[in-house]
Structure 1
Amino acid sequence: MNTAPPAAPAAPSVLVPATTGAVAPRVQIPAGAVSTVHRDPVADLSGRVIGYTVAVSVDMTHVPTQQTAQRRTGPVPVPTDVLHEHYLTLDLPSLVADRYVFLPATPLMLDGFVPGPVTPGRLVLELPARYEHSDEAVERAAALRALGVHLSLLHYRGEAEQAALLPHLSFVVVDANEPDLPLARLVHQAHQAGVRVLAADVQTSRVENDCRAAGVDGLRGGYGARADAQAAGDPEGDPPTGPRVLRAGELQCLALMHLLSQPEVDFAAVSQVVDTDPVLTLRVLHLVNSGAFALVSQIDTVHQAVVLLGVREVTTLVSALMLDARPDAMDSLWFILARALACETLAEDSAAYTVGMLSGLAVQLGVPADVILETVGVSDAVADAIRAEEGPYGPVLAAVRAHERRDEPGVLATGLQPSDVSAAYVRAVADALETAQAVTRDGGA
């Protein structure tokens, strides 16, 4: 009996262009084509974000047909050049900063027509399923690497055809959730070839501990579910530790947030609290005197600074200080601000910003939301949204969180459209980047 896997479609016979900067023929995106964009952090085992996967999906259901009366039955195939065009429209630096960007390779990308601009040496193409069985797989991978593009192979199991590609790969991705996977052997095999190993969709601390023991280099995917589980107290932890307790400095920051969340903010009281913390004082004065505010003269007092910065900037700075000890402080704050801005945009209400901000802070600190809510003190509408995704702001938070998990049915269940949530989130990510970098003094990946 022949047990050999079915042959994969042959790759195009033309190898990639010999020079960088090649431009593929542009196509027009059909009217009615609706896209959603998802990004997910790729982090090492210390928690430091090294890059982001960015994936585009396109819905062609509402693209007019030649016969407008014709009914569509089932999913509409997306032409590969149309999908590629959607990737070309992305502003990748605003989505990933200077981290690695992991893109699922389209056929045109495999021909060397790669998106740009990106930080030199930070573009990673994720090779399609069964690529290793395609014609000229090794030769084409070598040509792509010659262009300075990194390559990542998904579903790595150490098969002969996959191992033959190792000299041309920078990353391989394994499914650490798969029973009986010889994880340690696969990691050793990849490391011998100088290739880093990423584990896909790890959502529990038990599997994460298995990855750590095997020498896995990082985690790809599952970030939203993993962070939510940590904040709720991961029941599969080994040993089970439950949610952590806030430190004294964090409690002081939350007390400051309480002052900042009042309907009428007492800036004198805020500045008095800031003045008691030398680090926070330094950060407030540094931020207000940075070039971002283009002030005519330097500001020397905390009271002047907090008034000029305003409630939102000071709240962001306090959040950044609480995250300062984390290896991914900038990316954590970026996540929080993106969630907050997306919630505000979708709800068209500034209170939804607070919902997104505090819910994201609970996730990033790994503490139950109730701990933060009890310390900060917010309205019932804000608290109901964060605790149970209920009330006027609950559906918006639920939609944004579902988008972060790439859960399209979850978005639809809120009554919002995935494309609308995606558009709001992409804008929020771009708008949040400069603020996150400024207040955390991020130095790059």
Structure 2
Amino acid sequence: MGRLRTIVARPLAMLAHEPPGWPAFRGRLRSEAITARVGLLLGIAVGLCFGTGILSHYQYTPWSWIAIPSAPVWGYRLTQGIHVITGLAAIPLLITKLWSVFPKLFVWPPARSVVHGLERLSVAILVSASIVEVTIGLLNILNWYPWRFSFIDVHHWLAWVIIGSLLLHIAVKLPVIRRGLTRQALEAPDNLPAGVGATAGAESDLEAPAGGITRRGVLIASGAGAGIVALTTAGQALTPLRPVALLGVRDPQRAPLGVPINRTAAQAGVRQLATAPDYRLRMAGPKPFDLTLAELEAMPTVRRSLPISCVEGWSAGADWDGIELMDLVTRMGGAADSRVVLGSLEPDGPFKRSLIFGPQLQAALLATHLNGVRLTLDHGYPVRLIAPNRAGVFNTKWITQIGLAR
């Protein structure tokens, strides 16, 4: 029995002391004041990003009994613009937040109890999920996908992991957050937790050690970084800010016909099919019929000013001329309450088909012209869908078939 006690006691005794060479952090900038204030800004950004992201994801998986509204026509332009702006602004805030709590990674012992261990595990999940989320989100904006998994699914479910673990983290740390948001915490000499190798200093916030940056300086720099990222990105969606959209990856003013192109006809493999002399638009309803390109172009058209908005955050207002989709749906035996499927000439891909119903269907056009000019191949020639308050990827290009969903 005595030997057993010795075997158990030795590792417990080792856990009571930090290992040789264990990192020690000295200083006064990392504090509850910085962590709480940056965390508050980060929480607001994450909340806005999550909410607008859910609205965007609904375009991918709409419920049959809740149609996506067609008004305001700029609704998706606003929500997706906020989503991308807040997501990018969260990056410098996340970096600052992780810097402020980095010493806690080396708290000894690693887990003081089962509850403490579970708490640290939840934080690890929150941090790792957040890093992956902003990384793949940024790469999506750049249209670079160096992975084999579905970005849409992973990005969506990671968002739920982040928001759930964030709410749990806030609930656990609420007393610390409240204390950190006080003025006393900002001006306290040191707030590093015990056991992290912190050395208390005597300086106030207004007296930076050795002329270094103050806590307020860290907060100002962090907020300014997030603000600059937001300002230089927002021009992709907000026309007045377009001249300062230095971080915008799409500039409508330099795009063909004033609308950026994410996927070209060559990338989609439709060049020959879209320009084939035997092109037909097949209407596969209860009263099926085909239309040649000449017959399509001879039909009456209307003009509508509608923005087109992309999940990457850019958007552009444009004038579209085209045939009212409801005219063709009615002619093939459909009605205003039909669920319509549009098929592209694109041989494969997740957006080869799209579903439209409700107010969007009733307001949609089969566009033939963009800003007064016949559609180019890359913009969807011979015809494409354009509907208000709809994600750009679902404004299907190179349409060849229209039918009714079962």
If the TM-score is normalised by the length of the shorter chain, which range does it land in?
under 0.3
* Structure label with greater radius of gyration: 2
- The normalised TM-score by structure 2 is 0.23
Q: Taking CA–CA contacts closer than 8 Å with sequence separation of 6 or more, which of the two structures ends up with the larger relative contact order?
A: 2
